[in-house]
Structure 1
Amino acid sequence: MSHVAYIGSGPYCYANSFAMMFGAGAPSPAVIEFATDSPFGVHLIGGTLPFFDPYGWTPEAGFDEALAAMGWRSQVSSGGTEAEALARLRCALAQGPVWIGPVEMGHLRHQPKMTGPIGADHYVVVLEADDRQVVMHDPQGYPYASLPLADFMTAWRAETVSYGSPYTLRSGFVRERRVSEEEVIQASIPANLEWLAMQRGDGMPPGSLGNGEAALALAAMVDAGPDEELRSHLIHFAIRVGARRAADAATCLARIGLTEASRIADRQARLIGSMQHPLAAGDRRDAAAALRGLASTYVELLTALASFSAAVS
């Protein structure tokens, strides 16, 4: 069965925000996401919280290398008091849009049903800020959304986000060289490999698992009956973004001729995506079976990518 590239909505907030900042010369969000290394693994934080991304990875871990691979650089700043952060934001806005995040999504009250912190990270592009409100492009599906300044600052403080620093922004985006999407994909392979091999990602809490072990442990949790918090996390976020990341990895790998690696990534996408209906409908057995099938694919993908890396080095 051939691979079909996915185009559509999904929780690609930082990739879409970067694409907005790059403007007309932006790589596709699929290539941006690939360059941040997100498709290359699965982990179970503390043995309980699953994400279909590499062991120990957070979005920020891949940003600078991704920007370099794409031929861009930016200035990043964070911390300080609320007043200092707002002053930095206004200064940066004088030069153009500003990339903001992580923020706590639960405080973005322009999004329906958001009334307080939910422990979810998010990224936006701020266009304007005055004493009353900010105006932003929120890639969750809200162009030119306005938000009261107090709510925005609380979200930007990111107290309930598990990584990052308060009041982080990127500005001063400069394109240093023109790079084709295929060149971006190929330049990202060494870092992809390191994440997939679990050679990065320090500071994980006790009980954390990665790749095959994580998939099998999650399968056991699902088979036993996931609680509502875990089921909701999977069906509303983790499966959606995980399946898309793997599908985009398959598309990107095929573009540079890595047919076998692309085939494995496509299989990962199909297995992850196949969990959505069973878990939404309460059928845990099929979801657990998909996870058990997924477990061996990480070694397979590592082998395929390592063979390519050895051949070109």
Structure 2
Amino acid sequence: MAHFPYIGSGPYCYANAFAMMLGDRAPSTAVIELATCSPFGMQLIGGTLPFFDPYGWTPEAGFDGALAALGWTSTVVKGNDVADALAHLTAALMDGPVWIGPVEMGHLRYQPGRTGPLGADHYLVVLELDDQRVLLHDPEGYPYASLPLDDFMAAWRAETISYGDPYTMRTAFTRRAEIPELDVIRALIPGAIRWLSMDGDHEMPPGSLGNGEAAERLAALIEAGCGDRLRGHLNHFAIRVGARRLADAATCLARIGYAEAARLAAEQARLIGSMQHPLTTGDDAAAAAALRALAPTYAQLWSALERASHDR
């Protein structure tokens, strides 16, 4: 089956938040997401927590490089405590909306069912605040959401998030160069190859695995008994964002003539996306089979990107 691009909702919080901040000059969210190199790999953190993104990667690992590739810069500000963070945010809002994150999604109580920390990271754009409430755009599907200030500060403290620092925000988004999307995609290929290779030092918990080994191990975990926590993480987040990232990667790679790499990324997207129904309905054997089919594709994608980059 030929790849058909996806357009629709999904957990693209930081890509959508960046697009809001970049305004009418923003590239597509597919290119923004690709610029972080998030589609290129898989990791099983501590041998138990899966993400369909590169081994050792976190969103913050890709942000500065992504903005630079897109031709933009921003200023990162981190508050020392509640008072300091509020002072910085109040001052920054005088110049317009402010990009915020990571935050703990469980404290965003305008989202139904959110009653406390989940260990789930998220990104927002704050529009206004006063001494009681914050007005914000939440790219999860909540424009102009209002949140009590105490809940917002608890979310922004991000003490249950495994990466990043409390009270982090970005301001002063400035366009330094007008870079066509095709040039952005081409420039990201070396980073994609590097992340897929798993080279470099990565501060990972013991037992962590990447790429094919991660897929094989996750298949075994699911077959041994997929608990509610793992099933919920996969169904509500990891599969949705993983399939979306790779579908966008396939679209972008095809645009620059990387036909074999695009085909492999599309195959990965289909395999990951195919796990949604089995895991929802309890057909764990089918989900494990998809993961085992996925395992060898990471090395294949790495090789395809290497060959295509050497041919140019």
Shared fold, TM over 0.5: yes
| Residue of structure 1 equivalent to 2:210 | 210
Q: How does 1:46-85 map to 2 (within 5 A)?
A: 46-85=46-85
CA contact (8 A) 1:77 1:168 kept: yes
* Local SS of the residue matching 2:116: coil
| Residue of structure 1 equivalent to 2:137 | 137
Give the whole-Å Cα distance in 2 for the aligned partners of 1:201 and 1:108.
34
Q: How does 1:243-254 map to 2 (within 5 A)?
A: 243-254=243-254
| Residue of structure 2 equivalent to 1:294 | 294
Give the whole-Å Cα distance in 1 for the aligned partners of 2:216 and 2:6.
27
Q: What are the superposed Cα offsets for residues 173-203 of structure 1, whole Å, 9 maximum, x if unpaired?
A: 0001111111111111111111111014611
| Deviation at residue 23 of structure 1 after TM alignment | 0.2
Give the whole-Å Cα distance in 1 for the aligned partners of 2:234 and 2:307.
33
| Residue of structure 1 equivalent to 2:265 | 265
CA contact (8 A) 2:260 2:304 kept: yes
| Deviation at residue 77 of structure 1 after TM alignment | 1.3
Could you tell me the percent identity over the aligned residues?
Answer: 68
The answer to whether residue 173 in structure 2 is matched with residue 162 in structure 1 is no
Letter of the 2:171 counterpart: S
| Deviation at residue 81 of structure 1 after TM alignment | 1.1
Letter of the 1:303 counterpart: S
Give the whole-Å Cα distance in 2 for the aligned partners of 1:146 and 1:190.
41
| Deviation at residue 310 of structure 1 after TM alignment | 2.2
| Residue of structure 2 equivalent to 1:19 | 19
Q: What are the superposed Cα offsets for residues 20-47 of structure 1, whole Å, 9 maximum, x if unpaired?
A: 0000010111110000010000110010
The answer to whether residue 234 in structure 2 is matched with residue 234 in structure 1 is yes
The answer to whether residue 223 in structure 2 is matched with residue 223 in structure 1 is yes
Give the whole-Å Cα distance in 1 for the aligned partners of 2:148 and 2:46.
36
Give the whole-Å Cα distance in 2 for the aligned partners of 1:158 and 1:311.
45
Q: Which runs of 4 or more aligned residues in structure 1 lie more than 3 Å from their structure 2 counterparts after TM superposition? A: none
| Deviation at residue 95 of structure 1 after TM alignment | 0.5
Q: How does 1:178-197 map to 2 (within 5 A)?
A: 178-197=178-197
| Residue of structure 2 equivalent to 1:2 | 2
Give the whole-Å Cα distance in 1 for the aligned partners of 2:109 and 2:201.
33
CA contact (8 A) 1:55 1:200 kept: no
| Residue of structure 1 equivalent to 2:107 | 107
Give the whole-Å Cα distance in 2 for the aligned partners of 1:166 and 1:308.
41
Q: What are the superposed Cα offsets for residues 75-106 of structure 1, whole Å, 9 maximum, x if unpaired?
A: 00113011000000011110111000000000
| Deviation at residue 160 of structure 1 after TM alignment | 0.3
Q: What are the superposed Cα offsets for residues 207-229 of structure 1, whole Å, 9 maximum, x if unpaired?
A: 00000000000011111221111
Q: What are the superposed Cα offsets for residues 117-140 of structure 1, whole Å, 9 maximum, x if unpaired?
A: 000000000000111111000000
Give the whole-Å Cα distance in 2 for the aligned partners of 1:66 and 1:94.
26
CA contact (8 A) 2:79 2:88 kept: no
Letter of the 1:246 counterpart: L
Give the whole-Å Cα distance in 2 for the aligned partners of 1:201 and 1:251.
30
**Given the two structures, how large is their TM-score scaled by the length of structure 1?**
0.99
CA contact (8 A) 1:41 1:196 kept: yes
Report the number of matched residues: 312
Q: What are the superposed Cα offsets for residues 238-286 of structure 1, whole Å, 9 maximum, x if unpaired?
A: 0000000111110010010100000000000000000000000000011
CA contact (8 A) 1:56 1:200 kept: no
CA contact (8 A) 1:216 1:291 kept: yes
CA contact (8 A) 1:57 1:201 kept: no
**Given the two structures, how large is their TM-score scaled by the length of structure 2?**
0.99
Letter of the 1:53 counterpart: D
* Local SS of the residue matching 2:198: coil
| Residue of structure 2 equivalent to 1:281 | 281
Give the whole-Å Cα distance in 1 for the aligned partners of 2:23 and 2:242.
26
CA contact (8 A) 1:41 1:55 kept: yes
1:210 to 1:278, Cα distance in 2 relative to 1, 3 A: same
Give the whole-Å Cα distance in 1 for the aligned partners of 2:18 and 2:75.
13
| Residue of structure 1 equivalent to 2:32 | 32
Give the whole-Å Cα distance in 1 for the aligned partners of 2:249 and 2:275.
19
**Which consecutive residues of structure 2, in runs of 5 or more, have no partner in the other structure?**
none
Aligned alpha-carbon RMSD (Å): 0.8
| Residue of structure 1 equivalent to 2:88 | 88
* Local SS of the residue matching 2:38: coil
